[in-house]
Structure 1
Amino acid sequence: MQDVDLNLLAALDVLLAECSVTRAAHRLGLSPSAMSRTLSRLRIATGDQLLVLAGRTLVPTPYAEQLSEHVHELARNARAVLQPVNSTLDVATLERTFTIRANDGFVELVGASLMAAITETAPHVRIRFVSKPDKDARPLREGMIDLEVGVPGTTAPELRTRLLFRDRFVGICRTGHPLLTRVTAKRYASYPHVVVSRKRQFSGPVDDALGQLSLRRTIAMVVLTYANAMQIARHSDLLGLVPHSCLGSALLGDHVGSAGVQFFELPVRTPGISVSAIWHPRLHADPAHRWLRDTLFAICKNAGP
């Protein structure tokens, strides 16, 4: 790779972050004139001006804006490769933001406990939860997210997984729903249902089991989140289907009535749910990422039914 200078990559990363030759030079320990020459080399290498004057300030070109996030990831990976592995970690001084992709039920289940654990041991760590519209492996592969939580189902064989807890589906309905007097498969199928489906499908894991009994339920509504399903079941006669872990402590014991929604065991058997942490092997040996995984595992240890 005689024609590739990785120093240019680091310089481009800092220039795009600072949009200033002087500030970029200061960060890299160079003189402004040396930084200016480096910018000229980058312009020749990329065939783009990258940074142009707008009054007295520099602004990125459209091409530079496209490059910015990708360049930052490349520079970070290059630094990680070209420095000794540091296996020690002081979480008390760790400053890092982790992005976790998970559904709303998991955030409600562990969000507060995770925040409490972080506040106690790693006060400078921040967590960014993002929605999970699908099981696309690309965000993990490209470093857009650090960790995913859910049921493994991607076609990316290199991803690492660790079981967090096992779960099961349960039915939900409003408190006082007539079904609760006697829950049978036939009576269960006779009421209208609300189902959760990211793919907007009018079906769920219980339909195959009902079909084996020659029963078919009426699905009146499809929603995107379990929170939506619980809200609708609370204020209607529709029955819902959610993982037991989504219920939370507010729906258990003496709080069932005040919550306005109650859960019941399904009258048919459905497959169990294995909720796992999923990450890219690039981060497997990273001490901070390993600490996050271990912390999450400890919190989830008793989360399942």
Structure 2
Amino acid sequence: MGPPDLNLLIALDVLLDTGNVAEAARRLNLSPSAMSRTLSRLREATGDPLLVRAGRGLVPTPRAHALRERVGALVQESRDLLRPADTLDLSRVTRSITLRTSDGFVESFGPRLLARVEAQAPGIRLNFLQKPDKDSAPLREGRIDLETAVIGPTMGPELRTQALFRDRLIGVTARSHPLARDVISIETYLAASHVIVSRTGLDKDAVERPFLPEELSRRTVASVGGFAAALALARQSHLVATVPERHTTGLREGMFSFDLPVDSPGFTVSMVWHPRMEADPVHRWFRACLRAVCSQQSPDVANLTDDALE
């Protein structure tokens, strides 16, 4: 047996990333027929079909799933080894960085993050995108550079994560609400009219639902798509919103916030990125900026006992 063709690793990495022969051919500047021949060589080398037909598309085999993270790491490491070790001069960097995050994050952390970036790298533009779902495809496809998330079982196994801060749920109302003038019990909390944040409008899909007791039944009279809308309704009505404390610091100004009278576990908000960006010097610097900004203590969260970085 002759030496392995290491170019096949690059082709395999792109094929597993795209799951599409034509798209892989486009990325590698090959013809579709040449890409098909490369896939045949990969199948012969691995002894596995790797990608199989399912309807009009291709799906990875279990062996392909097992290889994906290892192949990506090997390709990235080889690129790092062959890249000149230039010293990063942030003052001369010109590029955009796209951060996808949940509602409220920009209001609470955006100003400090912008100030830090502008002071060190004035040529960098930050694009903040709303997070409509938990799909990690934009990270894999390079459409976004970084996102914030509460890590769940649906997170792609190849993605990199690092904790940013701890958060917890609190209740929020207008200062004119009766709850703002009374001792809040579980009975008064449940009896109030609630607005929930749910992408489908269903109570079972409310984003705060996983962090509340399973048997808890609130009187929901409205649902919205984000924390900003929930707090805007609560500010100008008789509704109660249940939202993350640190995520919504800027949005809750002038409102009445209170500890929930029910057991509600805290949770960790992390940043997530694709392995292809692991060693990129600008990306590494930006991740450090985000960690620094999110770890700064704020008077609005001074009573949060578990807000240290994990």
Mark yes or no: TM-score above 0.5. yes
The C-alpha deviation readout for 1:209-251, integer Å capped at 9, x for no partner, is 5665xx6321111101111011100111111011101332574
Once residues 207 and 118 of structure 1 are traced to their aligned partners in structure 2, the CA distance between those partners, rounded to angstroms, is: 34
Unaligned runs of 5+ in 1: 7-41, 48-76
Deviation, structure 1 residue 287: 0.7
Deviation, structure 1 residue 208: 7.9
Deviation, structure 1 residue 277: 0.6
The C-alpha deviation readout for 1:88-113, integer Å capped at 9, x for no partner, is 31111111101111012111111111
The C-alpha deviation readout for 1:63-88, integer Å capped at 9, x for no partner, is xxxxxxxxxxxxxx99x949525363
- 1:35-184 maps to which residues of 2 (within 5 A)? 45=31, 81=79, 83-86=82-85, 88-153=87-152, 154-180=154-180, 181-184=182-185
The aligned length equals 228
Contact map agreement 1:189 1:217 (CA 8 A) in 2? yes
Distance 1:196 1:249, change over 3 A: closer
Once residues 267 and 46 of structure 1 are traced to their aligned partners in structure 2, the CA distance between those partners, rounded to angstroms, is: 61
Provide TM-score, normalisation by structure 1.
Answer: 0.67
Instruction: Answer yes or no: is 1:302 the counterpart of 2:264.
Output: no
Once residues 264 and 233 of structure 2 are traced to their aligned partners in structure 1, the CA distance between those partners, rounded to angstroms, is: 23
Instruction: Answer yes or no: is 1:289 the counterpart of 2:288.
Output: no
Distance 1:176 1:110, change over 3 A: same
Q: Which residue of 2 aligns with 1:241?
A: 242
The C-alpha deviation readout for 1:235-270, integer Å capped at 9, x for no partner, is 11111011101332574xxxx6xx2x2111100011
Q: Which residue of 1 aligns with 2:225?
A: 224
SS of equivalent to 2:90 = coil
Deviation, structure 1 residue 121: 0.6
Once residues 111 and 156 of structure 1 are traced to their aligned partners in structure 2, the CA distance between those partners, rounded to angstroms, is: 26
Once residues 208 and 164 of structure 1 are traced to their aligned partners in structure 2, the CA distance between those partners, rounded to angstroms, is: 19
Contact map agreement 2:195 2:240 (CA 8 A) in 1? yes
Deviation, structure 1 residue 124: 0.3
Deviation, structure 1 residue 45: 4.9
Distance 1:87 1:160, change over 3 A: farther
| Higher CA-based Rg | 1
Contact map agreement 2:211 2:265 (CA 8 A) in 1? no
SS of equivalent to 1:92 = helix
Contact map agreement 1:189 1:216 (CA 8 A) in 2? yes
| Amino acid aligned to 2:192 | Y
State the identity as a percent: 39
| Amino acid aligned to 1:299 | V
The C-alpha deviation readout for 1:94-140, integer Å capped at 9, x for no partner, is 11101111012111111111110111110001111111111111111
Once residues 119 and 173 of structure 1 are traced to their aligned partners in structure 2, the CA distance between those partners, rounded to angstroms, is: 36
Contact map agreement 2:104 2:250 (CA 8 A) in 1? no
SS of equivalent to 1:99 = strand
Once residues 235 and 101 of structure 1 are traced to their aligned partners in structure 2, the CA distance between those partners, rounded to angstroms, is: 28
Contact map agreement 2:165 2:268 (CA 8 A) in 1? yes
Output the aligned Cα RMSD: 2.9
Distance 1:283 1:250, change over 3 A: closer
Contact map agreement 2:231 2:251 (CA 8 A) in 1? no
Distance 1:266 1:45, change over 3 A: closer
| Amino acid aligned to 2:202 | Q
The C-alpha deviation readout for 1:176-197, integer Å capped at 9, x for no partner, is 3112311000111001100112
Contact map agreement 1:207 1:217 (CA 8 A) in 2? no
Instruction: Answer yes or no: is 1:263 the counterpart of 2:263.
Output: no
Contact map agreement 2:196 2:223 (CA 8 A) in 1? yes
